[in-house]
């Protein structure tokens, strides 16, 4: 896939998501050739299937090419606020497995899902929050000590108030907010400005993709209905400490339109 020299300025500024296993399915060449900065998803398959030598091989390639690496933690079947000790133990085990890889990849940030869903957890919200706070307190400390920074991302949270305690009650370690604009538009009930006003002080990363509002469609930027002007206004006020920007295309053909869109807006 030829991205073109005209896109190099924006390519250098953003991360692009990819599950670790896809590097062994032909996508490593695409990332190398285009000079992409990877946000590597370390899902359960990545954590169980591959060897340390596999991790070191991939990490060495991106480091040699001077690329910035970020991580996305495992999220499928993860229950960081679970009241079942077995589910909670497995969730924390997966986080520890990922944390063990920080020394190899040296990711700048690590994005994880708090996993709160009011449809399932609202009737025991306080108990969920207590377990979740402990999960992220411990993981955040380990991540910070290893030289990276934990970012907690909105998914099914409908309101920023559902996430605020995770940041206000965890002053140490330094845990940031990853604002996923696609999740916000598909599942949230508060305008983007409301999220940015409430959680802006903690915001350290954006996940960028578009949708129609009907579902989490991961379209190319500009190919859905999300109004991103509040985001660009926020970025203009954060030039001294810019957040990490990650594109999350689910199809190769959606990468170039998203890069071109961002190049036009902030490149």
CATH number, position 142: 3.20.20.150
Contact indicator for 18, 39 with CB cutoff of 8 Å: yes
This model's pTM is above 0.75:
yes
CA separation for the pair 76, 63 (Å, rounded): 28
**Average pLDDT score, the chain:** 95
Confidence of residue 1 (pLDDT cuts 50, 70, 90): low
Among 55-59, 128-132, 173-177, 204-208, the range scoring the smallest mean pLDDT is 173-177
Q: What are phi and psi of 125, to 5 degrees?
A: -55, -45
As for how many domains the chain has, the answer is 1
Confidence of residue 178 (pLDDT cuts 50, 70, 90): very high
| Angle, CA of 165, 167 and 87, to the nearest 5° | 70
Residue 128: give the domain boundaries: 5-266
Cα separations in angstroms, 255 against 7, 11, 245: 11, 10, 14
């Amino acid at each position: 896939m030829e991205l073109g020299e005209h896109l190099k300025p924006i390519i250098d500024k953003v991360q692009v998501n990819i599950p670790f296993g896809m590097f062994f399915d032909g996508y490593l060449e695409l990332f190398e050739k285009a000079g992409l900065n990877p946000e590597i998803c370390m899902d359960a398959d990545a954590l169980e299937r591959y060897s340390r030598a596999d991790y070191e091989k991939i990490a060495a390639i991106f480091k040699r090419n001077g690329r910035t690496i970020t991580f996305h933690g495992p999220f499928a079947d993860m229950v960081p606020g679970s009241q079942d000790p077995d589910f909670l133990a497995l969730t924390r085990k997966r986080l520890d497995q990922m944390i063990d890889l920080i020394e190899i990849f040296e990711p700048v940030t690590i994005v994880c899902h708090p996993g709160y869903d009011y449809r399932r957890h609202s009737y025991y919200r306080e108990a969920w929050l207590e377990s979740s706070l402990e999960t992220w307190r411990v993981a955040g400390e380990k991540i910070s000590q290893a030289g990276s920074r934990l970012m907690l991302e909105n998914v099914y949270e409908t309101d920023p108030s559902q996430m605020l305690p995770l940041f206000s009650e965890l002053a140490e370690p330094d845990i940031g907010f990853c604002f996923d604009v696609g999740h916000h538009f598909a599942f949230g009930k508060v305008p983007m400005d409301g999220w940015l006003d409430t959680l802006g002080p903690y915001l350290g990363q954006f996940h960028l993709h578009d949708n129609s509002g009907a579902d989490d469609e991961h379209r190319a930027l500009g190919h859905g209905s999300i109004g991103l002007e509040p985001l660009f206004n926020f970025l203009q006020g954060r030039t001294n400490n810019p957040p990490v920007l990650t594109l999350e295309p689910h199809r190769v053909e959606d990468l170039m339109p998203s890069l071109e869109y961002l190049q036009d807006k902030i490149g």
